[in-house]
Structure formats: structure tokens, C-alpha cells
Structure 1
Amino acid sequence: MSAFLSSQQYGKDKVRLVKVTDLPASTAHGATNLKHQHVQELTCRVLLAGAQFETSYTKADNRLVVPTDTVKNTIYYLAQTTQDTLEDIESFAKVIGRHFIKQYAHVEEVHVRIHAHNWTRIQTSTLEPVPTLAHPHSFYRAGEQKRTTNVVATRVQSRADAMIKFSIASGISDLYVLKSSGSSFEDYHLDKLTTLPPMSERVLSTDITATWTFPDSVESLTQNPSKPTFTPTFHTIKQITLDLFANHNSPSVQNTLYRMGELVLASCPHVKDITYELPNKHVFVYDLKRFGVTNQTGGASTVYYPVADPSGLITATISRSRAKL
């Protein structure tokens, strides 16, 4: 039997960093006596790929292997030398990809994954001179939701100039939501194994993961890179997702998911498609009839019990229709 190396990549995973950046006093909204700062916590993974790395696997030849420790150090180096807050994680991922493509001629592809952890400014009632002001340098963890991006930087051979292609997929994960009304599930297929009763009113709870892709871009490797901002798109898609979940009178998770995707594509013309994963975090009415207590959906109060496993999983990708020729 013969064997060959069909794919390979390597690098550093779970590189955690926190960057604190001073902001202008003009952004302090009245609390000019306090230092105003931005805090960003990231977990990064950077993997390198290229045909010339193959001999490190097949012939134990390490001469072209950039140590993973160097990859780690580079992430911290670029985090400090990049003149911004790193809030725009896609732009930081592009900086990382560009660096390795430009620095090492034998690197053909760089895969960068970044998760941004959620730190929210504390709303304080004692900060002078403005009460209920977002504190300029104090934060709390408001849930486990994460902003995410996966960027692939690819060397492009060109006679005129060295070029680099970026493929970007961004998203949000671990966005836990629940609505106590405005959701139903009825008129579904029935057979001898169906035990689920129809529900005209139910609790709907899910843990939203959404991933959206942008059109690929090709840039010069030698000239100053473009600096599009991806952050407004993230906030727009997050708000649309929450608005649809809250306000849509949902006949099924499937329909609510599709309505979310439709509105995202209508509102964000630069997004190619969006994929949602919505696990149904079941919350069932607890049977108290055996104890002589009425407990049912629609009553003045209802006691439920959440079920972790098994759970339904609804996922779909909503894409733009191709233009008719």
C-alpha cells in the first residue's frame, strides 16, 4: 500500500490576549477626569500551510518550519504594533495573515480564527457628573456570547505584483435567548411514533450561532492594505437576529430562522450568505396534576423544567438569489 500527504497545516491555537487602549478624552461623555479605555480579549488560532512544509512531515526536514512559538510571539507583537483597538477582529486577522504571507516566501496560506470575548461597560449610578453613565474603564462579562471570524489569507501569483486573497467568514456564537410567549408548533407530521403534543403557546429558547460570509477580496501584498470596517455589520446582524427572535410570532424555529436570514441579506448588501444554527433548548411544563395542582401554559403562572439533552437542532443557510441573465 502506498500513502501520500494529502493536506497539512500547523501553527498555534488558544493564544489568549487582552489589549487595553487609551481613548481620547472627548469620548468620555462627561467623565473627563477618569482615564477612558477600550478593553478587548481575544482567543486566536493561526495555522500556516504551503507545499514546502511537506518535507517536515515526510522527511523530518525542519529547515522551513516556522516554530509555533514564533507564531505565538507574532500574534502578541502584531497586537501591540497594530494602531487600533482590535475591536474589528476581521481587520486584525487580515494583519496576521498579511504578515506571514509577506514575511515567509514559502507560506502559501494562513488560516486565522479569532474569538472576541464579551466585556460590557458597567453602567454606574454614582459616577459624576452624569449618573447611569457607562464607566470609562470598568467592565463586566454579560453572558458568554462571542464575536467570531475565520479568515484565510492566500498568496496569489501575479506577474505584475505580489497579491493576497482574503476569504472571510464572521459570526456570533453562544448567544442565549428565550421568549416566554409568541411561539407555537402545530400541524406537523404525525405517525405511530409521534408523542409530542401540538403547542399553540410554548417557551422558545435557543443558543444562537450565526456565520456570514463576505465576497473574497484580492489586495496588493506590497502596497498599503485596505481598511474596511466589519464592526457595523456585526452589530446590524446581531440586532436583526434579536429583533426577529423577540418580535416574530413564531410558528416554528425553521420559519423564524429563515425570516432572520432574509432580513440580514436585505439589510447588508455586502454579505453573501448567512448560516444559522439554532438548537432547540427544550423547556417543558412540569406535570403537577398528580399533586392536585393546576400547572399549564397560559395560566397566570406556569412552572417549567429545562431539558438539556437530547435537543432539536435546526440549521440552514440563506443565500442571495443569482441574477437572471
Structure 2
Amino acid sequence: MTLVHKTYGKGRVRVMRVHRGGGRHEVRELSVQAMLTGDFDRTFTHADNLRTVSTDTIRNVVNIVARENLALGNEEFCRAVAQRLLDSYDAAETATVSAHETRWARLTVDGTPHPHTFTLDGNGKPTASVTMSRSGTRIESGVAGFTFLKATESGWARYHKDPYTTIPETDDRIAATSMEASWLWRAAPADYAAANALILDTMLRVFATTYSHSVQDSLYRMGTAALDAVPELDTITMACPNKHYLLLNLAPFGLDNANQVFVATDEPHGQIECTVGR
């Protein structure tokens, strides 16, 4: 029998790069696949791994190149990873590196682009619900899957600790979520679309411009601000899973990582929910 074709590598290497240019941050999130061909036949045919690079090593190369090239665009970043793989491993004949970008659009607050807060490009789906009976009508509006993040000005510290606790305290982390929110009307606004836009803008302004001690802290203040801004609201309910960006330990490779390169992970996630009312 003949081995007709072979390739291997690492897929779904999810990496977030944060380029901190003074007070202005740029974020680039990619899901990378890096595949090699070359002199690896014996790993398939003779259980001989001597010349074959571990897929875990390939992932590390992606992360190291990310740390060394925080501002590269997608094409040049893929090129840099491929070049590093070919330069590092003589057995490799080709390196094919592809990436899908999760695009983040800079949030505008009061007409000014915010330095470190972003919303997912093509974001969110407006929702509406009406329950009508002979005794009255209940109207709710909302948004599903509205995703946003801030690259700094967020922390998680001074929480309960016990022998099961492993997460370290931090006063500077990425805070990101994909929010499901609905709000109950106690009276009809003059314009539902304008009122809904004001609610979302108000919540994002709070998120962007104030320090977040936790997602819980931000949600309560966001809900309170929305109720203050729109008197026709009765309650607002928010469900926000954490989108985790975990700081990569690059010390084994002689590199620092001052909140610049993160691995993106959706599961498991913290699930934070609350309802704020008058």
C-alpha cells in the first residue's frame, strides 16, 4: 500500500492580539490553521515520530509570532507564521497558514471613537415581543447576541477564595460578552426605534467609560443608566456570558506578555444575569 498524501498541523488556534499604541488600542482576533507537508511519511507508515513536529509546538509558534507581530494584518501575519515554520523545521516542505478574522469595530461614544472599546462587526439582532390579553398588553423590546468588549479598564479581584480557587486576581483584563437583553415597557415611547437605540447607546457608554470591577458591576450600572435615560421603561433584563480571553504564558520562550496576546475561548464561560427595575 502507498501513502498517497499526508498533511498535518494545528487548527482553531484562536489568538487575540492587543496593540497598545499609547492610549489607543487596536485588537485583532484570528482563528488560525497551520498545516505542514514534508518528510513525515514514517510517522504514518512506521510509527516513527523522529522528524515530526508536535501540533502543540505548531500552536506555540503561532502564539510566539503573534507576540512578536502585534500589528500585522492578516495576510502578513499568516506569511510570518509560515516563514517561521519553514525556517524552524527542515523536514517541512510546505506550510499552509490560513486565518479567519473576528472583526471588531471601534465604538463611538458621543461622536468620538473610543480608545479601547469595540463592538462585533455586523452585530446583534433586535427583538420584540407582545403578549396581549383582554385585560392588558405586555410589550418587550431587546437585542440578541450583541457582542462587545473593552481591552482594558476591567478587573476581577477581592472575591471569595477557598481551596477550590485557582483564578488569580487582576485589575487589567479584557472584558467581553455576547449579551441577550430585553426591556419591558410600562408606557409606549414616542418612537420605539429611537428609544431602543438610546437604551443600547446608554448601556455601552457606561461600559466603555467606567472601570468594571466585574461583569456583575457593569450590568447593574448599565441597567440603571438605561432606566434613567428612558422613563417609559419598567425593567431591563440582561444575560451576559463571558467571552474569555486568557493571557498566554510566553515566559518559556523568553517573551514577556504585558496583556498583549490572549487565547480566545468560549467554553466553559461565566454566565451573568440580572434584572434591574424601578
**Given the two structures, how large is their TM-score scaled by the length of structure 1?**
0.47
Unmatched tracts of structure 1, length 5 or more: 1-140, 157-164, 218-226, 321-325
User: 1:285 matched to which residue of 2?
Assistant: 247
CA contact (8 A) 2:248 2:261 kept: yes
User: 1:207 matched to which residue of 2?
Assistant: 178
CA contact (8 A) 1:146 1:174 kept: yes
User: 2:262 matched to which residue of 1?
Assistant: 304
CA contact (8 A) 1:145 1:172 kept: yes
Q: 1:257–1:247: structure 2 CA closer, same or farther, 3 Å change rule?
A: same
User: 1:274 matched to which residue of 2?
Assistant: 236
Q: Deviations over 1:169-224 (max 9, x none)?
A: 1101111111111001100000000000001110111112211001278xxxxxxx
Distance in 2, matches of 1:179 and 1:142, equals: 14
- Aligned residue among 182, 187, 205 for 2:158: 187
Amino acid at match of 2:275: T
CA contact (8 A) 2:187 2:232 kept: no
Distance in 2, matches of 1:241 and 1:209, equals: 13
Unmatched tracts of structure 2, length 5 or more: 1-119
SS in 2 for 1:263: helix
CA contact (8 A) 1:168 1:216 kept: no
User: 1:239 matched to which residue of 2?
Assistant: 201
Amino acid at match of 2:132: A
Distance in 1, matches of 2:199 and 2:227, equals: 9
1:1-325 equivalence runs, <5 A: 142-156=121-135, 165-215=136-186, 228-297=190-259, 302-320=260-278
SS in 1 for 2:164: coil
Q: 1:236–1:195: structure 2 CA closer, same or farther, 3 Å change rule?
A: same
SS in 2 for 1:251: coil
Moved over 6 A (4+): none
CA contact (8 A) 1:166 1:216 kept: no
Q: Deviations over 1:136-161 (max 9, x none)?
A: xxxxx9514111011112235xxxxx
CA RMSD of aligned residues (A): 1.9
Q: 1 or 2 for the larger relative contact order (CA 8 Å, sep ≥6)?
A: 2
SS in 1 for 2:218: helix
CA contact (8 A) 2:237 2:276 kept: yes
CA contact (8 A) 1:167 1:216 kept: no
Distance in 2, matches of 1:216 and 1:228, equals: 10
User: 2:45 matched to which residue of 1?
Assistant: none
Identity of aligned residues (%): 33
Greater strand content: 2
Structure label with greater radius of gyration: 1
CA contact (8 A) 2:154 2:171 kept: yes
Distance in 1, matches of 2:221 and 2:199, equals: 12
User: 2:11 matched to which residue of 1?
Assistant: none
Report the count of equivalent residues: 159
Tell me by how many angstroms 1:310 deviates: 0.2
Amino acid at match of 2:173: R
Distance in 1, matches of 2:187 and 2:138, equals: 5
